[in-house]
Amino acid sequence: MKEEKGENSPFVKFIGTAGARFVVMKQLRSSGGVWLSSGRTHLYIDPGPGALVRCLSSRPRMDPSALDGIVLTHKHLDHSNDVNVMIEAMTEGGFRKKGVLFAPEDALEKDPVVFNYVRGYLENIEILGKNSQYRIGDISFSTALRHKHGVETYGINFTLASHTISFISDTRFFSELPDLYQGEVLVINVVRREPVGDDPIDHLSVEDVKTIVRTAKPKLTVLTHFGMTLTRAKPWEVAAELEKELGVKVIAASDGMKLNLNEV
């Protein structure tokens, strides 16, 4: 495909791959979230602690003023900590009113994570709800069912010009989950090495990933958002084991990893 000025091949850049409290607070991995670009549109997903710093220090440097929008899958701190500063950076300190914030209602209403004064810098705020469609520039996306997580949370199915990519954000496993995310690339937040069982932990484990991948059959599965047990288990080894067992391509994201979607 011929690239026009300002366009680049679609990509996902994992600014951070840390998940849950301990990996984030000790910064064993970065916790910045994900940058998604397609055509002329740049979208940031879940700007956790360090998003701005990691964008500016990445090579090549990622400039948040190029962003068209920010998606919060939910308001937990490891997904939203840098949302205010990223809105400021996207809008050049609020001097250039632009961009759209997509977030669940409870990130904005009760105990909100977005300051009122930065909301005015945005062109628009769209509320993420279940089974809804959204569009920003060259990127369309939809939500599915509300996840089983402590706060209002949604995963996202993105439809780009020539690719589909799904993000399964934080959730406890539930029976409909494997059918909700059909992207050819499936990014899964997998916090736990061992099954969650009856523990009061609203996160996916490696066993849950197997169940999801067997049903969803993505072309590529990318594991990210690693908690302590998974970080210790070496995510790249876990990915290799899964790939062998499931017979499909599985990789573990690393901080700064750029996934060129035309090469998947």
Interface residues with Zn ion (CB under 5 A) are 76, 170
Least Å distance, CB 261 to Zn ion, is: 26
Element (H, E) at 77: helix 77-80
Taking the complex as a whole, the smallest distance from the CB of residue 73 to Zn ion amounts, in Å, to 8
Return the residue matching tokens 């949302």: 83
Q: Which CB sits closer to Zn ion, 25 or 56?
A: 25
Nearer to Zn ion, 152 or 170 (CB): 170
Tell me the torsion sign for CA atoms 221, 225, 227, 233.
positive
Contact 48, 18 (CB under 8 A): yes
Which phi and psi (to 5°) does residue 44 adopt? Answer: -110, 135
Q: Which residue is nearest to Zn ion (CB)?
A: 76
Nearer to Zn ion, 68 or 170 (CB): 170
Residue 14 C-beta: closest distance to Zn ion, Å: 17
Instruction: Tell me how far CA of residue 115 lies from CA of 77, 84, 217, in angstroms.
Output: 14, 7, 40
What burial class does residue 93 get, using C-beta atoms within 10 Å of its C-beta: 0-12 exposed, 13-18 middle, 19+ buried? exposed
- Nearer residue to Zn ion within complex by CB, 122 or 209: 209
Give 42 or 76: the residue with its C-beta nearer to Zn ion. 76
Looking at residue 60, the DSSP 8-state letter turns out to be S
Least Å distance between CB 165 and Zn ion?
20
